[in-house]
Structure 1
Amino acid sequence: MADGEEDFSALPLPDRFVHKNWKVRKEGYEAAAKEFDLAASESDPVVRQFIQDAGIWKGVVGDSNVAAQQEGLKALCSFLQIAGAAGSTRTRNHTVATIAEKGLPSTRPAAKQSALEALMLYIETDKPDPVIEELLPILSHKQPKVIAATLDALTQIYHAYGCKTIEPKPVLKALPKVYGHADKNVRAKAQELTVEFYRWLKDAMKPLFWGDLKPVQQTDLDKLFEKVKDEPPPKQERLLRSQQAAKEAAAAAPGADDEEEGDEEEEAIDLEPEYEAVDVLPKIPKDYTERLASSKWKDRKDVLDEVHKILSVPKIAEGPFDELLRGFAKSMKDANIAVVITAANCVELLAKGLKKSFGKYRSTIMAPMMERLKEKKATVTDAIGAALDAVFASTSFQDCLEEIVEFLKHKNPQVKLQSTLFLVRCLKTTREAPSPPEVKTIAEASTKLLTESQEVQRSAGAEVLGTLWKIMGDRPMNAHLDGLDDIRKAKIKEFHDSAEVKAKYKPKAAAPPKPAPTAAPAGKRPVGKRPALGAKKPTPAPAAAAPPPPPVEEPAAPLAPKPTSRPGVSKLAGPKSRLGGLKKPGSGIAAPPAAGASPRRPVVSPPPEEVAPPPAAPKLGLGRGLAGRPLGKPQAEPATLAPAVQVPSGLGLVERAELEELRAEVERLRRQNEEMRSERTKLTSQVHELQNQNAQLIEDHTRDVLSIKAKETQLVRARSDFEAAEQTVQNQRREVDRLKRELSRQVRATSPPPTDLSDQIYADTNGGGRLGDSGYGGQGIYNKRERLASGPTSPISEGANSAQSSMSSRGGGRISPAESNSMGTRIGGTQATAGAESWKRAAEVTQNLKQRIEMMKAKQGLGRQQQ
């Protein structure tokens, strides 16, 4: 075995890498790692050998022996450290998938750590995208432990390099499939990866995968997000080789390095480019405008709901959406808040789908939406606020600022408050710092809000100033905050400390243009003095200046006034000396030196200038002071003289006259612009007032129409109630008639039968023996027999006969035929009408019969007394 081992160590490293004995392979991996650590560069023969034979690394990282695999992964890490981009690009196609399948799930912590480090080095030495592409298919592996290990590796990779260096979209789109895995460890690792994404992306990542998750999973993730929501933004821990080189190159210029870092921090992570644009215009209903003009709010809302469904796509293709936006703007004035909310949601979807292409429609929809912020219901203001945020995201801060500031002066407190809050959101989300004039406009409008009567409005104004302070810094804002009291400053400071902004003002960018204004004043001075000086001394100027330079600088002077001042500065020494010599002849003392060939000497020598002041004082004026004072002013005159030499006097005068005319024209245009702006503001306010009046009239008209419809409804109900009551009355009448007929039948059925009357008459006849004696009884029996013999008769005739027989038997004599007929007729008529009308008539007839019976009894008593 010893001899064999010696022979194995003598084998070349590639042969030992593929040896069938795992110990040989393990020792080969260790030896190779040492060789790679000692190599000077990727051009070393040992390194070059393994770069060319890249396929050998697949067996190394996937060694069947775990001990050998551990050493093989270490050897790969050492190789990638020295091989650089060449070794990474040649070997990653062979190793990354194998590392994920066999290295990351290893039971040995050292092997697992080496596998993760190898993936990190593949990303560091070249690009991260190919490595991520190799790892994504592993998420569909059949073994759950492989998927869980890969997810854990992705979490570590994104934690180290960040989502700004590695594109997160491919992994985000694969998350829903992982969340549907049956293994709980896989789902747990997916949650860890999602939380890591949330640290970098916040809620911007949700549109890519959130809708594909179950509600329970969303709830669990929201709980995990709350734990890391308040953490500071993460920073990249490991740099790519390219980033390291850039950082080293920028080490000599720390200022530029800071700027680059600031720009890198400000860069946003775009998660949208993967969406395909959808052409939604053909899907818009053809009768969109007609249905939107319907008098029924339900029809208007239905058509907006249809449009909302059509616009619910991540990205929308460009097209003519003017008619659609005009409909949305009209819907902002709708009396029904459901229509307003739906229209605002449509605007939000369209702005998010079109992105920057929506900017041309901003002027159509922004003002109507901000005007409708007067609604006090939170559902309306929230929907419009979200739509305004989407509109602002598609435009720039400069485009929206003027309109926002106008609404900060609105007479409606609710509109003013919501516009202020919208301005705060704009300042927090904009990536372009406002310019100093814009800062002044915002600060003035916000300072006025600090004096409002409502505390919420004052707080909103303070928040605007605090957020603006965070963006601009201390120096630009000191001028706007100096006049405020300590209480307001403290409130603004609170908002400044808590504000989170994405833009940062850089004063260095504004510094270069400053030299330009300094050259302008130097050019303005000669306007009044240059012609006189040029007329007096045309000859000394060419003598002082060299002949070659003026022709070169002459063409530059008429094209750009600013460069002409720069050559004049370089030649100030010559004109100064000439003016020093020219001034002395004026005083009458130093004329000979002025005519000399070297005019520079008299300016430097102080004694002649001390002698010159006494005679020159009365000529130059008493207000000049010492001799040093006039020397300062001629120094400005030479600067005027130099341009006179370089540019012909006639051409320079014409140019300056044109320049003054242009300046006057510019000033006049500015005044006209200000007047037009004020007029536009007045017209805008009038339009807003008319819109408010129109909206009020529409609301009144709607209210009147609704009241009229309510009255009509009440009238229809009253008519229906009347018809029902009339029908009920008719039914009651028919029921009464029916009851009357039934009552008459019952009366007839309950009348006494004929036998009752005959029995009564028979009993009366038998009871009165005296009547029989007197001859009346026989007559009564005769009548009874005659009645019985006559057969059945009607109840009426029976009643009449019974009454007649009773009266004849009790009255003691026979009743006359007329009396009997009349009585029978009366009884018959009474009984006939009793059943038809009521029982009252029957009682009256009975009472009359009783009275007649009493009269008959009285007659019988008188007859007996007489006998």
Structure 2
Amino acid sequence: MADQEEDFSSLPLPDRFIHKNWKVRKEGYEAAAKEFDIAPSEADPVVRQFIQDANIWKGVVGDSNVAAQQEGLGALCSFLQIAGTSGCTRTRNITITTIAEKGLPSTRPAAKQKSLEALLLYVELDKADPVIEELIPLLSHKQPKIIAATLDALAQIYHVYGCKTVEPKPVLKVLPKVFGHADKNVRAKAQELTVEFYRWLKEGMKPLFWNDLKPVQQQDLDKLFEKVKNDPPPKQERLLRSQQAVKESAAAVGGDDDVAEEEEEDVVIDLEPEYEAVDVLSKIPKDYTERLASSKWKDRKEALDEVHKALDYPKIAEGHFDELVRGFAKCMKDANIAVVSTAANCVELLAKGLRRSFAKYRSIIMNPMMERLKEKKQAVTDAIGGALDAVFASTSFQDCLEEILEFLKHKNPQVKLESTRFLIRCLKTTRDAPSPAEVKAIADAATKLLTESQEVQRSAGAEVLGTLWKIMGDRIMNAHLDGLDEIRKTKIKEYYDSAEVRAKYKPKPVAPPKAAAPPAGKRPMPGKRPPPGGVKRPTPPAAAPPPPQEEPTAPLAPKPTSRPGASKLAAPKSGLAAPSRLGGLKKPGSGMAAASPRRPVVSPPLEEAPPPPQPRLGLAPGRGLAGRPLGKLHAEPSQAPMAVAPVNDGLGIVEKAELADLRSEVEQLRRHNEEIRAERTKLTSQIHELQNQNAQLIEDHTRDVLSIKAKETQLVRARSDNEAAEQTVLNQRREIDRLKRELSRQVRATSPAPLDVSDQIYADTNANGGARFVDSGYGSTGLYGGRNRGFGAQPTSPVGEGKENMIDGSLSRPGSTLSGKLSPLRAGTGSTKSSLSSRGGRMSPPASTGGGQANTGAESWKRAAEVTQNLKQRIEMMKAKQGIGRPQQ
């Protein structure tokens, strides 16, 4: 066994990789992983042989022994770490499918983890598209566990690298098929992958696959989306090698660690479904122009409806749409709003279908649409707004800005407001940040809107500034916001916090100064000085002024004079040119003079130094002041003796102490001034707030007082109306009572006969027993007495003839106390019957007077009926006159 092991270890690694003994293969994988880890680069011979013989890796990752397979996957990861892009591109087409089929579904967690790490390395070393293309066919595998493992790997890839690095569309298109799988584990992994997409893409991913899902699946996904809806935006956790190189180079040059992140923000995720372009020109009616010029709005509307139907395609093939767009522009001036709305919808469809190809038609249609924004119907403005958004999406922000700014000055408030809202939408959706000049134009126009009389217009202007602030940042926008009051700044800050934009302004990096060619008079190395007669420098132009020593320090001279102790600093230097304070304090004994006006550095004053003109006179013979090289000024002061250094050190300490005191005082004053400004700003804002609160309270109080007075007025009016109504009712009641009394008097005066007859009947009835009384004038019947109650149950009739029959019948029965002679009762009907006779001769009018009494009774009843009718009419007239019986107002 020992000899065999030595023989196996002495075999080359490729031979051990394909050995029939799994233990030999496993040891070979472990040895290869160690070799890869210690290899210096991909040019190492061990690495190169496995790059050239890439087919060997297929058997490694798909080893039949799970223990050997686990080590083989580890060896592949070590190989990819050192092999780089070449090893990645040579092996991924061979290994990815095998890894997904045998590595990802492995029962060993270590093997599964190494398989996933290998896939992530394949993405990191080059790009993700080839890896995704290899994994998508496995989603149709016949084994559910392979599909579930592949979905889990895809979710990990998108989680680590993000949808900005890995294209999501290919996977989104196959999601509906996976959701329809019979295995529940597959559906669960599909849900996890979909939730990962939602973390990156939100609602923008739904158009690609959402409609292909069942309603139950949509509901389940919506519940899962709610859990991650409010999570912070995800970030890429792992960078590609190309991204790492960019980040390292940026850090080496500028020290900016956020360059890679900013570049990631610029990546646009295209979630538009892929459609085939459709030729719609052939589907547009031939008589479109003639029908659009019709005088009937229905004809124009029908023509636009047909065009709308013809343009209703996601992608439209390019063609000559000039005439069509001009017709839409003409419809924007149509008097019928239905025609305008339909034309705007057609523009929106055409712009979305042509996309960037619609940009050449923008100048034809944009101005008429914005002019029609004056329409007050919200449906019309919404249709035009959608069309404007589609037009803007097909162009750029710079193309549309000029026209938008012109309409922000429109005389119509509605056009101005809708144009402002359109500008806000453009700022939120554009991916190109405006230039500083465009920012100034937008800020000036929005600042004017803050002074409008309408609150909605002021709010729109504040939203423009807030959104622009979000894009450009504080440094650029502070210059445009300084002149505004605190209330407006607070409003703008609210819109700034809530704004969601896609663009981010990035100032152009300033090129660093070239170190190879320093300007004349500058020394590249401050510690080295050229000798007095050393290197000759090119002579500057004669027109250039000489670099005087006094001028650069002139602005600094008055600074210390305003503080106590300044004269002490100036006293030792009274006979010399004013040196630079900062240069002298930094290096008091260096002996360096001012080299140029940009850096006024001179040596500190020396007691034994020559007068100031002497350094300027130490020039080469025959050369003027303007023609001397500036480097001479650096060389000549260096010849000063070093013995005076101790004196300079003493004076430098005093100067340092004085300067430190002055600086501390200045710093204290600055801090004090800043505190005062901050306190003043705070108090000013509090004053504004209190003034606003006071004005609001006064307004509320005034509103309450007016409301109370209005209620009191209404109450007084109601009381007076109530009293008047009560008085009217009382008067009407009195009048009714009077009319009733007058009516009763009239009736009594005009009909005495029936009353006398009734008295006689009452007398007979009381004497002979019960009898039935019939009043022919009013048609009422009654039963009087108690002995003869039997006939009282007989039917009565309101008709006169019936009454007579009833009375005659009741009186003619045997045993009746009346003889049936009731001529007075029948006088109203015109009958001439014999007089009523009663026992004992109580009442027996003569027969000769029966006719006269009957005529008199008939006339009396007629007169009574007329009087009654007249009285009723008068009552109705009085009621109508005084308003009785009408509904109360």
Shared fold, TM over 0.5: yes
Q: How does 1:360-509 map to 2 (within 5 A)?
A: 360-508=360-508
- Counterpart of 1:66 in structure 2: which amino acid? V
- Alpha-carbon contact 1:291-1:300 (below 8 Å) kept: yes
- Counterpart of 1:450 in structure 2: which amino acid? L
Question: In structure 1, what is the equivalent of residue 357 of structure 2?
Answer: 357
Compute the TM-score of the two structures, normalised by the length of structure 2: 0.55
Question: In structure 2, what is the equivalent of residue 288 of structure 1?
Answer: 288
Distance 1:375 1:144 in 2: 59
Distance 1:38 1:602 in 2: 65
- Counterpart of 1:479 in structure 2: which amino acid? A
Question: How many angstroms does 1:298 deviate by?
Answer: 5.2
- Alpha-carbon contact 2:428-2:502 (below 8 Å) kept: yes
Pair 1:12-2:36 in alignment: no
Question: How many angstroms does 1:36 deviate by?
Answer: 2.0
Question: In structure 2, what is the equivalent of residue 183 of structure 1?
Answer: 183
- Counterpart of 1:106 in structure 2: which amino acid? S
- Alpha-carbon contact 1:574-1:600 (below 8 Å) kept: no
Question: How many angstroms does 1:255 deviate by?
Answer: 5.9
Question: How many angstroms does 1:238 deviate by?
Answer: 1.5
Question: In structure 2, what is the equivalent of residue 72 of structure 1?
Answer: 72
- Counterpart of 2:108 in structure 1: which amino acid? R
Question: In structure 1, what is the equivalent of residue 117 of structure 2?
Answer: 117
- Counterpart of 1:254 in structure 2: which amino acid? G
Pair 1:572-2:596 in alignment: no
Q: Which whole-Å deviations, capped at 9, do the CAs of 1:29-74 have from their partners, x for residues lacking one?
A: 2232222222222233332232222222112212223222222211
Distance 2:374 2:270 in 1: 35
Q: How does 1:83-94 map to 2 (within 5 A)?
A: 83-94=83-94
Is the deviation greater in 196-205 or in 487-496? 196-205
Q: Which whole-Å deviations, capped at 9, do the CAs of 1:775-829 have from their partners, x for residues lacking one?
A: xxxxxxxxxxxxxxxxxxxxxxxxxxxxxxxxxxxxxxxxxxxxxxxxxxxxxxx
Secondary structure at the residue paired with 1:433?
Answer: coil
- Counterpart of 1:142 in structure 2: which amino acid? K
Give the direction of change, closer, same or farther, for the CA distance of 1:186–1:572 in structure 2 (3 Å limit).
Answer: farther
Higher helix share: 1
Distance 1:316 1:251 in 2: 46
Question: In structure 2, what is the equivalent of residue 144 of structure 1?
Answer: 144
- Alpha-carbon contact 2:207-2:273 (below 8 Å) kept: no
Give the direction of change, closer, same or farther, for the CA distance of 1:282–1:33 in structure 2 (3 Å limit).
Answer: same
Extract unaligned runs of 5+ from structure 2: 513-537, 549-616, 629-889
Secondary structure at the residue paired with 2:452?
Answer: coil
- Alpha-carbon contact 1:449-1:458 (below 8 Å) kept: yes
Give the direction of change, closer, same or farther, for the CA distance of 1:297–1:146 in structure 2 (3 Å limit).
Answer: farther
Question: How many angstroms does 1:121 deviate by?
Answer: 0.9
Pair 1:45-2:16 in alignment: no
Question: How many angstroms does 1:479 deviate by?
Answer: 3.4
Give the direction of change, closer, same or farther, for the CA distance of 1:568–1:503 in structure 2 (3 Å limit).
Answer: farther
Give the direction of change, closer, same or farther, for the CA distance of 1:484–1:17 in structure 2 (3 Å limit).
Answer: same
Q: How does 1:284-323 map to 2 (within 5 A)?
A: 284-294=284-294, 299-323=299-323
Give the direction of change, closer, same or farther, for the CA distance of 1:258–1:74 in structure 2 (3 Å limit).
Answer: closer
Distance 1:269 1:256 in 2: 25
Question: How many angstroms does 1:299 deviate by?
Answer: 4.7
Distance 1:142 1:381 in 2: 54
- Alpha-carbon contact 2:539-2:627 (below 8 Å) kept: no
Secondary structure at the residue paired with 1:76?
Answer: helix
Q: How does 1:508-547 map to 2 (within 5 A)?
A: 508=508
Distance 1:67 1:340 in 2: 74
Q: How does 1:430-829 map to 2 (within 5 A)?
A: 430-508=430-508, 570-573=541-544, 598=622, 600=624
Question: How many angstroms does 1:162 deviate by?
Answer: 2.3
Q: Which whole-Å deviations, capped at 9, do the CAs of 1:562-620 have from their partners, x for residues lacking one?
A: xxxxx99854347999xxxxxxxxxxxxxxx9xx995725999xxxxxxxxxxxxxxxx
Distance 1:462 1:476 in 2: 17
Question: How many angstroms does 1:260 deviate by?
Answer: 6.3
- Counterpart of 1:498 in structure 2: which amino acid? S
Q: Which whole-Å deviations, capped at 9, do the CAs of 1:664-689 have from their partners, x for residues lacking one?
A: xxxxxxxxxxxxxxxxxxxxxxxxxx
Question: How many angstroms does 1:466 deviate by?
Answer: 0.9
Question: In structure 2, what is the equivalent of residue 237 of structure 1?
Answer: 237
Give the direction of change, closer, same or farther, for the CA distance of 1:2–1:387 in structure 2 (3 Å limit).
Answer: same
Question: In structure 2, what is the equivalent of residue 98 of structure 1?
Answer: 98
Give the direction of change, closer, same or farther, for the CA distance of 1:259–1:134 in structure 2 (3 Å limit).
Answer: closer
Distance 2:540 2:449 in 1: 50
Quote the RMSD (CA, aligned, Å). 3.4
- Alpha-carbon contact 1:424-1:463 (below 8 Å) kept: yes
Distance 1:90 1:510 in 2: 41
Give the direction of change, closer, same or farther, for the CA distance of 1:213–1:478 in structure 2 (3 Å limit).
Answer: same
- Alpha-carbon contact 1:13-1:32 (below 8 Å) kept: yes
- Alpha-carbon contact 1:352-1:390 (below 8 Å) kept: yes
- Counterpart of 1:89 in structure 2: which amino acid? T
- Alpha-carbon contact 2:409-2:416 (below 8 Å) kept: yes
Distance 1:203 1:185 in 2: 25
Is the deviation greater in 238-247 or in 5-14? 5-14
Is the deviation greater in 364-373 or in 84-93? 364-373
- Alpha-carbon contact 2:544-2:626 (below 8 Å) kept: no
Question: In structure 1, what is the equivalent of residue 346 of structure 2?
Answer: 346
Secondary structure at the residue paired with 2:19?
Answer: coil
- Counterpart of 2:436 in structure 1: which amino acid? P
- Alpha-carbon contact 2:291-2:300 (below 8 Å) kept: yes
Distance 2:208 2:446 in 1: 38
Distance 2:103 2:38 in 1: 25
Secondary structure at the residue paired with 1:600?
Answer: coil
Question: How many angstroms does 1:219 deviate by?
Answer: 4.6
- Counterpart of 2:423 in structure 1: which amino acid? L
Distance 2:145 2:340 in 1: 52
Extract unaligned runs of 5+ from structure 1: 513-566, 578-592, 605-867
Question: How many angstroms does 1:117 deviate by?
Answer: 0.4
Question: In structure 2, what is the equivalent of residue 30 of structure 1?
Answer: 30
Aligned residues: 534
Is the deviation greater in 141-150 or in 36-45? 36-45
Give the direction of change, closer, same or farther, for the CA distance of 1:482–1:302 in structure 2 (3 Å limit).
Answer: same
Give the direction of change, closer, same or farther, for the CA distance of 1:300–1:165 in structure 2 (3 Å limit).
Answer: same
- Alpha-carbon contact 2:42-2:82 (below 8 Å) kept: yes
- Alpha-carbon contact 2:408-2:419 (below 8 Å) kept: yes
Is the deviation greater in 301-310 or in 568-577? 568-577
Distance 1:48 1:603 in 2: 65
Question: How many angstroms does 1:203 deviate by?
Answer: 4.1
Give the direction of change, closer, same or farther, for the CA distance of 1:300–1:186 in structure 2 (3 Å limit).
Answer: farther
Question: How many angstroms does 1:321 deviate by?
Answer: 0.9
Question: In structure 1, what is the equivalent of residue 686 of structure 2?
Answer: none
Secondary structure at the residue paired with 2:502?
Answer: coil
Q: Which whole-Å deviations, capped at 9, do the CAs of 1:688-742 have from their partners, x for residues lacking one?
A: xxxxxxxxxxxxxxxxxxxxxxxxxxxxxxxxxxxxxxxxxxxxxxxxxxxxxxx
Q: Which whole-Å deviations, capped at 9, do the CAs of 1:526-558 have from their partners, x for residues lacking one?
A: xxxxxxxxxxxxxxxxxxxxxxxxxxxxxxxxx
Question: In structure 2, what is the equivalent of residue 718 of structure 1?
Answer: none
Is the deviation greater in 116-125 or in 175-184? 175-184
- Counterpart of 2:325 in structure 1: which amino acid? L
Give the direction of change, closer, same or farther, for the CA distance of 1:38–1:62 in structure 2 (3 Å limit).
Answer: same
Larger radius of gyration: 1
- Alpha-carbon contact 1:138-1:146 (below 8 Å) kept: yes
Question: In structure 2, what is the equivalent of residue 61 of structure 1?
Answer: 61
Question: In structure 2, what is the equivalent of residue 157 of structure 1?
Answer: 157
Distance 1:378 1:509 in 2: 46
- Counterpart of 1:572 in structure 2: which amino acid? A
Question: How many angstroms does 1:420 deviate by?
Answer: 1.3
